[in-house]
Amino acid sequence: MTLAEKILAAHSGKKRVSPGEFISARVDLVMANDITAPIAIMEFERLGIKAVFDPQRVVMVTDHNVPAKDILAAEQAKLLRDFARQQGLVYLDCGKFGIEHVVLPEQGLVLPGDVVVGADSHTCTYGALGAFATGMGSTDIACAMATGEIWMKVPPTIKFVYHGRAKKWVTAKDLILYTIGDIGVDGARYAVMEFCGEAIAELSMDGRFTMANMAIEAGAKVGLFRTDEKTVEYVKSRARRPYQVYEPDEDSQYSKVIEYDVSLIEPQVAFPHLPSNTKGISEVGEVKIDQAVIGSCTNGRLEDLRLAAEVLKGRKVHPDVRCLIIPGSQEVYLQALREGLVEAFIQAGATVTMPTCGPCGGFHMGVLAPGERCIATTNRNFVGRMGSPKSEVYLANPAIAAASAILGQIGGPEEVVDKK
Amino acid sequence: MKLRGKVHKYGANVDTDVIIPGVYLTLTEPAELAEHCMEGIDSEFAQKVEKGDIIVAGTNFGCGSSREHAPIAIKASGISCVIAKSFARIFFRNAINIGLPLLECPQAAEESETGDTLEVELETGEIRNITRDRLFQAEPYPDFMLELISAGGLIEHTKRILEARRSG
C-alpha cells in the first residue's frame, strides 16, 4: 500500500484499502474558519444533536475576514466564537494566532499519520507532516464534527520524484508551480500527490508546507510527504498528543510516476488566470505591477519572510508599487520582529500587516481595482481572485515578489541583489 | 425525475471564485448568493437564468476553493443540474451534499450549446438535446453515492448513522 492507503486503512479499521473503494474513516481533527464555519454550524444544528464528537478535536479559526471588515463579517466571526465557546472547542482567534494552515501545525494540532478534514481547500497543507489532510465543504465538516468520521473514496497515488539540487532563488514554490505547469490544474484530480526524491529531502518544513499547500491547485486530494527526521524535529516540541508514523510499502502501486531534475528548473511565475499558466522568470518579459503581496497560507512562514528580507533589506520599493507583507501567524510575526525583518521591510517602504487571508481571496486589505496587476506569493490567480474581474494576479516565490516590488515590474532577485 | 431547461455553456476549469467571488462569502442566504452567481465569468447570468436551466461546462468544473456557497448559489439561481466533462472533487461532494444534481458526460458537454434545450432523466443518466435531437448517456453514480442521494443528502444520511449509534 502507498502512504495514503496505509493511513486510510488504519483509520477505517481495515487491513487493506485500494483505490476506488468507499470507506468511512475516523478523523483525528476537524477544522473550519470564519467563512465556512457559519454554514457548517447551521447544518450541524439540523442534525438534532447537542455536542460535537470530541471538542478537543474540533478547531475553529478566524482568519479570512478578520479583524472584521464589516458588520456581516463581524456577525460570522461572532457566530463561530459563540459556538466554539458553547461547545468548548479549540478556538484560535485573530490577534493571538493567524492563518489556519500556518497555525495548526505550529500549535501541534495536526500530526504525522493523522486524517484531518477542514472546511478550506488548502487543508491539504498538512500533508507536509505526513498527514492525510484534505479540504471539504461545510456540510461534510458539520457531519464530521458530529460523528468523528468521514466518507471517502480511496484515491490513487501519483508519485513525484525530484532529483538533483535546486539553483539559488529556486524554492519549494517553484517546484510546485513547475509541477502544476507540467500536469495542469486537473493533472492530479481526485488523486494523492506523493512528493519524494533527494530535492524533497533537502526542503525545510516551511518549504514542504508550501508545496503541499498547492496540491489542490492540481486538483489533488492531498500532497503527501514522508515523515523524516525534519518532520519529527518540527513536531517534537509542539505535539499535544501521541502520533503514529506510516511508511509506504516497497511494492506500493502508483497510478503514475513523474520525475523531474530540479537543477533544470528556474524560478517560476504563473500568469493569469490559472496556476498552471507558468513561465520561467527568464521568459516573463515586461510586466509592470501595482501591488506585491508576500504572505498567505502558501508563503507566509519565517523562511519566506527571511527570503523577502534578503532582497528588500537596504533597498526601496518602487514608487508606483504597494508592497504588503503578511506574516502567517503571530509566532512568525514575533520572530520576524526579533530578527529585524520587520524593520527592514518598513524601511524599504513595505507595509507589514497582521496575519490574515485578506487580499489572497479578494476579501479585504489589498483588493485590486480594474486594470491593476499584482504579483503575489499566494496560491490562486483565477479571474477576480484578488478583486476586480478585470485585475490580474501573477504567482511567484517571495524572492521574485520582493524583487518585483523594487523593480516595479516582474523580475528576478539577481536584477536587484547584485546591483546594490 | 425529469429535468428540462435551456443551456448556459462555459469552458474548462470554471473555478469557485468566478462562481461566487470571495467578497460575497459573508452572505449565507441562498437567494442573496444567487444574485451574484457566475458573476466573475458571466455578469448577466443572474438576470438571464430561468428556473430549470442547465449549466454545461468542460473539464474540472468547480475547481478551487471549498466554499459551499458555490453550489448553493447555483442551486438557488434556479439551475436544475450541471453537466460537465469532469468535476473538481470538493465541488462534487458539496453539490451532492446540498442536493444539486451533477452529471459527468463529456459528449453531452461537447455537443450542447448555449440556448439548446435539454431534458435530463436523473435516475438513468439519460440526457436528451431536444434542439439537436441527440441522446447522451452520463456516467452512472457509484452505489454508495446513490444511497446518499436517495437518503436525501448527507445530513439525512448522517442522521441515520447517529440514530443507529444511539440505538446501539
The alpha carbon of residue B131 is apart from the nearest alpha carbon of chain A, in Å, by: 31
Regarding an ipTM greater than 0.85, the answer is yes
Q: What is the pTM of this model?
A: 0.97
Q: In this structure, are residues A362 and A384 in contact, taking their beta carbons and an 8 Å threshold?
A: yes
Q: Clarify whether residues A271 and A201 are in a common domain.
A: no
Domains identified in chain A, total number? 2
Model confidence pLDDT, tens digit, residues B143-155: 888 888 888 889 9
Q: Clarify whether residues A186 and A322 are in a common domain.
A: no
Q: Clarify whether residues A29 and A173 are in a common domain.
A: yes
Please identify every stretch of chain A with a pLDDT value under 50, giving residue numbers as ranges: 420
Q: Clarify whether residues A252 and A306 are in a common domain.
A: no
Q: Give pLDDT, residue A82.
A: 98
Q: How far is it, in rounded angstroms, from Cα A362 to Cα B17?
A: 10
A22 to B142: CB separation less than 8 angstroms, yes or no: yes
Q: Clarify whether residues A276 and A327 are in a common domain.
A: yes
Q: In this structure, are residues B154 and A143 in contact, taking their beta carbons and an 8 Å threshold?
A: yes
Q: Clarify whether residues A155 and A171 are in a common domain.
A: yes
Last residue of a domain, one of A210, A235, A260: A260
What burial letters (b/e) apply to A377-399, b meaning 16+ CB within 10 Å?
bbbbbbbbbbbbbebbbbbbbbb
Q: Give pLDDT, residue A419.
A: 59
Last residue of a domain, one of A260, A287, A318: A260
Q: Clarify whether residues A167 and A131 are in a common domain.
A: yes
B93 to A146: CB separation less than 8 angstroms, yes or no: no
A77 touches chain B (CB under 8 A): no
Q: How far is it, in rounded angstroms, from Cα A12 to Cα A18?
A: 12
Q: Which of the residues B68, B141, B157, B159 would you substitute to probe the A interface, choosing the one with the greatest number of A C-beta atoms within 10 Å?
A: B68
Q: Clarify whether residues A162 and A306 are in a common domain.
A: no
Model confidence pLDDT, tens digit, residues A147-157: 999 999 999 99
The range of the structural domain enclosing residue A118 comes to 3-260
Between the alpha carbon of residue A49 and those of residues A41, A148, A178, A306, A366, the distances in Å are 12, 13, 47, 47, 41
Q: Clarify whether residues A205 and A347 are in a common domain.
A: no
Q: Clarify whether residues A100 and A134 are in a common domain.
A: yes
Q: How many CB atoms lie within 10 A of CB B23?
A: 18
Between the alpha carbon of residue A207 and those of residues A100, A110, A275, A307, the distances in Å are 17, 17, 18, 12
Q: Clarify whether residues A108 and A193 are in a common domain.
A: yes
The alpha carbon of residue A123 is apart from the nearest alpha carbon of chain B, in Å, by: 10
Q: In this structure, are residues A46 and A55 in contact, taking their beta carbons and an 8 Å threshold?
A: no
Last residue of a domain, one of A260, A285, A309: A260
Between the alpha carbon of residue A252 and those of residues A9, A27, A227, the distances in Å are 14, 24, 17
Q: In this structure, are residues A411 and A321 in contact, taking their beta carbons and an 8 Å threshold?
A: no
Q: Clarify whether residues A253 and A289 are in a common domain.
A: no
B90 to A143: CB separation less than 8 angstroms, yes or no: no
SS3 (DSSP) at A286:
coil
A189 to B60: CB separation less than 8 angstroms, yes or no: yes
CB nearest to A221's CB, from B17, B89, B165: B89
B146 touches chain A (CB under 8 A): no
Candidates A302, A326, A335; CA nearest to A210 is A302
* CATH code for the domain in which residue A220 is found: 3.30.499.10
Model confidence pLDDT, tens digit, residues A214-225: 999 999 999 999
